[in-house]
Amino acid sequence: MTAQSALAAALERQPPPLGGFSPAIVRLEVRRLLRNRRTMILALVLPVVFFVGFGLNNSYVHQAFGRGNVSAAEMISIALYGAVAATATCGAMVSIERAAGWSRQLRVTPLSPAAYVVIKMLTSLVLAAGAVCAVYLVGAVTNKVSMPADLWVITGLYVWIGSLLFAAFGLFIGYLLPSENVMQIIGLALTLLCFAGGLFIPLSQFSPGLQTFAKFTPVYGLNELVHYPLAGGTLEWSWILNLAVWLAIFVAGAVWRLRRDTARV
Amino acid sequence: MGKNPGSLARPAGRAMQIGRDDAERAALPGRQDRAVPPLAVDLRGVHKSFGSVQAVRGVALAIGSGEVMAFLGPNGAGKTSTIDMILGLSRPDAGAVEVYGMAPRQAVRKGLVSAVMQTGGLLKDLTVAETAQYTASLFAVSRPVGEVLERAGITAIAGRRVGRCSGGEQQRLRFAMALIPDPELLILDEPTQGMDVEGRRGFWQAIREDAASGRTIVFATHYLEEADAYADRIVLISKGQIVADGTAAEVKDLASGRTIRATLPGADETALRAIPGADGVEIRGDTVLIHCGDSDAVARRLLNQTPARDLEITSRGLEDAFLALTGDAAAGPAGESQAAI
């Protein structure tokens, strides 16, 4: 009788709200990230090294760019590089989790695939915030970046939110490629995409043919948009179009692979 | 293998019996009445194929609340495919799967069912306690992390990274994770695979203590002794179909019955074969070996009507039953028993 009433009570249980999402899981995921040396180097250390090495030389400091100097533009570029590296590697970690059977384990819990993706996005945003803050902090303490105070905040936020595009990219690749090599592939792909998007070298220094090609790559629109508050001038619709199309492609790809992953086994 | 048609009749009978229970349940006016607890698992005519491979071919299985059931079968018999459907990890091509009267995924979301998976399913970079916390955060209601670690016997290694735990410790962690929602039904898929004898014993000790609380437990295994030692009911599956269903003793009987060994000088083989209940006779000098379904009748006849003495009656092991029923005739013991018959 007691066993029966216990069963009756159990049958009345309700599933957790929000598909099993909880801030405690984001905290644990962030703690995992902090232990991952490779990710920390890629997202936090490398951008700072790049910025100190290439962004703060005297010619950049004394050269004007829009409402600030070239060092400010460099700071935004390298913060964007760090932020997209952070979100993409976070997203791509699903491939390791799939290989470890963790995704399958989670499917025997109330966690919904949508809630899982939200957890991954939030976790990647935490790391991306770290990447942006690290570069901006170096920019602030070295006192070589010149830019109005409000633009520090605005461009920082743009870079941070914009990096979500690459969380979708990372998830897509992570569900597409089922191996631990995915991190090397992501690292290489990001570097190439950042070059093509004009993040390290201005597009104006490319050949005309390469410039046209570059405008169709996924970092281009985002890079132009995050620099816009500093650069000024006209807002090109092609930037927004570029961003929107690539966001749609990455999200659709991630959803497609996620669906397939969930239907499998 | 000549006995197989007879042995197959039993599980069919059992299945029919289960079907009748079901019909009775359906006939009751208050089907939702609390007095009739729903079946923990109800599989009806379940089929599942992967490409051209038919993994599960028409499985019907009803598991009542509080049962401790072993799902026994060789590798590739369809155990994991069936378990995946019970857990809502895959959907049957045909047939119906219900867990506590609801869709499997819904039962999982409510924390009514949880599972200890065969391998994997852990993150190396989390600690034991963090992994349990992670799992606990996913459920609406959960047991305290400290309590489940204690019950799984891994409190001492709570702070250790999962990647540095032994196979047995990882399996205990999976068990702890499965206990977190305090499920009504616990499913274990080959839970002790790759564990040493000591680890296996300790693991089952923990499971057995837990089962005392009235939880329904279903475990897949190909270790016959585990099924024999820990399950109240054994369901034998082979090539995607249930071939036997009953207690360990019943399943053993199904395949092989018992063997009577007696000293009987000058035995008449034809006469012995004629004894009702004797399936096979073998004469080795003064010793006769009689394989029989009804050993009592044969023994009585031997003692009363022949000068037979030194009777020994032995039940053949579950291993023989397993091999006979699953048709893995290639293995040694089955070959021997066939020669004897």
> What CATH number does the domain containing B279 carry?
3.30.70.980
Gap from B234 CA to chain A (nearest CA, Å): 23
pLDDT digits (tens, 9 = 90+) for B5-44: 333 333 333 433 333 344 444 444 444 445 567 899 999 9
- Chain B residue numbers with beta carbons less than 8 Å from the beta carbon of A90 are none
Same domain, B153 and B291: no
The number of C-alpha atoms within 13 Å of A233 and in the hemisphere containing its C-beta is 10
CA–CA distances in Å: residue A240 to residues A152, A225, A258, B26, B75: 22, 8, 26, 61, 55
Same domain, B29 and B129: yes
Look at residue B74 and tell me whether its pLDDT is greater than 60.
yes
- Chain A residue numbers with beta carbons less than 8 Å from the beta carbon of B214 are 3, 6
Cβ of A105 and B117 within 8 Å? yes
- Chain A residue numbers with beta carbons less than 8 Å from the beta carbon of B184 are 7, 10
Same domain, B214 and B332: no
State the first-to-last Cα distance of chain A, in angstroms, to the nearest integer: 39
Burial category of B27 from C-beta neighbours within 10 Å (exposed 0-12, middle 13-18, buried 19 and up)? exposed
- Distance (Å, rounded) from C-alpha B167 to C-alpha B199? 9
pLDDT digits (tens, 9 = 90+) for A200-251: 888 888 889 989 999 999 999 999 999 999 998 899 999 999 999 999 999 9
Record the tokens describing residue A151, joined without a space. Answer: 């633009």
Q: What is the pLDDT of residue B102?
A: 95
In 3D space, the residue among B15, B77, B14 whose CA is nearest the CA of residue B43 turns out to be B15
Look at residue B323 and tell me whether its pLDDT is greater than 90.
no
* Distance of alpha carbon B90 from the chain centroid: 21
In 3D space, the residue among B299, B306, B240, B242 whose CA is nearest the CA of residue B271 turns out to be B306
Q: Does B134 touch chain A (CB under 8 A)?
A: yes
Range of the domain at B143: 4-252
Cβ of B112 and A108 within 8 Å? no
Q: Does B108 touch chain A (CB under 8 A)?
A: yes
- Chain B residue numbers with beta carbons less than 8 Å from the beta carbon of A10 are 110, 112, 182, 184
Gap from A31 CA to chain B (nearest CA, Å): 9
Same domain, B104 and B212: yes
- Distance (Å, rounded) from C-alpha B310 to C-alpha B157? 56
Over A71-96, what HEC string results?
Answer: HHHHHHHHHHHHHHHHHHHHHHHHHH
Query: Which residue, of B207, B234, B252, is where some domain finishes?
Result: B252
Same domain, B227 and B317: no
Q: What is the pLDDT of residue A248?
A: 95
Cβ of A15 and B134 within 8 Å? no
Phi/psi class of residue B262: alpha, beta or left (left: φ > 0; alpha: ψ in -120 to 50)? beta
Instruction: Give me the long-range contacts of A193-200 (CB less than 8 A, separation at least 24).
Output: A193/A217, A193/A218, A193/A219, A194/A81, A194/A84, A194/A219, A196/A220, A197/A222, A197/A223, A198/A223, A198/A224, A199/A77, A199/A80, A199/A81, A199/A223, A200/A77, A200/A81
- Distance (Å, rounded) from C-alpha A166 to C-alpha A88? 5
Cβ of A102 and B121 within 8 Å? yes
Q: Which residue, chain included where needed, has tokens 């599956």?
A: B237
Q: Does B124 touch chain A (CB under 8 A)?
A: yes
Q: What is the pLDDT of residue B193?
A: 79
Query: Which residue, of B191, B223, B252, is where some domain finishes?
Result: B252
pLDDT digits (tens, 9 = 90+) for B101-151: 999 999 999 999 999 987 789 999 999 999 999 999 999 989 999 999 999
Selecting from B115, B123, B140 the residue whose C-beta is nearest the C-beta of A16 gives B140
> Can you give the CATH number for the domain in which B141 is found?
3.40.50.300
Strand partners, B114: B186
Cβ of A106 and B124 within 8 Å? no
Same domain, B213 and B137: yes
Tell me how crowded residue A14 is: count the other CB atoms within 10 A of its CB.
Answer: 11
* Distance of alpha carbon A14 from the chain centroid: 35
Interacting residues of B18 by C-beta distance below 8 A, sequence separation 6+: B60, B61, B62
Q: A151, A230 in Cβ contact below 8 A?
A: yes
Same domain, B245 and B267: no
Look at residue B333 and tell me whether its pLDDT is greater than 70.
no
Cβ of A32 and B137 within 8 Å? no
- The total domain count for chain B is 2
Same domain, B175 and B227: yes
- Cα dihedral angle (B51, B57, B62, B66), rounded to 10 degrees? -60
- Chain A residue numbers with beta carbons less than 8 Å from the beta carbon of B117 are 101, 104-105, 108
Same domain, B52 and B151: yes
Same domain, B325 and B235: no
Same domain, B119 and B100: yes
- Chain A residue numbers with beta carbons less than 8 Å from the beta carbon of B124 are 100
- Cα dihedral angle (B320, B326, B330, B331), rounded to 10 degrees? -40
Strand partners, B186: B114, B217
Cβ of A28 and B134 within 8 Å? yes
CA–CA distances in Å: residue A245 to residues A53, A86, A263, B46, B183: 34, 21, 27, 44, 45
Q: Which helix (H) or strand (E) holds B304?
A: helix B295-305
Nearest CA in chain B to A36: B125
Look at residue B240 and tell me whether its pLDDT is greater than 50.
yes
| Banded model confidence at residue B332, pLDDT cuts 50, 70, 90 | very low
Tell me how crowded residue B46 is: count the other CB atoms within 10 A of its CB.
Answer: 23
DSSP one-letter code for B63: E
Q: What is the pLDDT of residue B339?
A: 31
CA–CA distances in Å: residue A58 to residues A71, A74, B260: 9, 13, 100
Whole-prediction pTM: 0.79
Q: What is the pLDDT of residue A66?
A: 92
Look at residue B317 and tell me whether its pLDDT is greater than 70.
no
Query: Which residue, of B230, B252, B274, is where some domain finishes?
Result: B252
Selecting from B126, B138, B141 the residue whose C-beta is nearest the C-beta of A111 gives B138
- Distance (Å, rounded) from C-alpha A220 to C-alpha A236? 12
Gap from A224 CA to chain B (nearest CA, Å): 37
Q: What is the pLDDT of residue A265?
A: 43
Q: Does B137 touch chain A (CB under 8 A)?
A: yes
No. of helices (H) and no. of strands (E), chain B: 13, 13
Selecting from B111, B123, B133 the residue whose C-beta is nearest the C-beta of A97 gives B123
DSSP one-letter code for B127: B
pLDDT digits (tens, 9 = 90+) for B248-299: 888 776 665 678 889 988 888 888 888 887 877 888 888 998 888 778 888 8
Q: Which residues of A touch B (CB under 8 A)?
A: 3-4, 6-8, 10-11, 13-17, 20, 22, 24-25, 28, 31-32, 35-36, 97, 100-102, 104-111, 265
Q: A104, B89 in Cβ contact below 8 A?
A: yes
Same domain, B24 and B164: yes
Look at residue B335 and tell me whether its pLDDT is greater than 90.
no
Record the tokens describing residue B40, joined without a space. Answer: 């923990």
pLDDT digits (tens, 9 = 90+) for B165-205: 988 899 999 999 999 999 999 999 988 877 788 888 888 88
DSSP one-letter code for B162: G
CA dihedral over A192, A193, A199, A203, signed as positive or negative: positive
Per-residue pLDDT of chain A (265 residues; tens, 9 = 90+): 566 778 888 888 899 998 889 999 999 999 999 998 888 998 999 999 999 988 888 889 899 999 999 999 999 999 999 999 999 999 998 898 888 889 889 999 999 888 998 999 999 999 999 999 999 999 999 999 999 999 999 999 999 999 999 999 999 999 888 776 888 888 889 989 999 998 888 888 888 998 999 999 999 999 999 999 999 889 999 999 999 999 999 999 988 888 787 665 4
Gap from B9 CA to chain A (nearest CA, Å): 33
* CA angle (A106, A109, A113) in 5-degree steps: 60
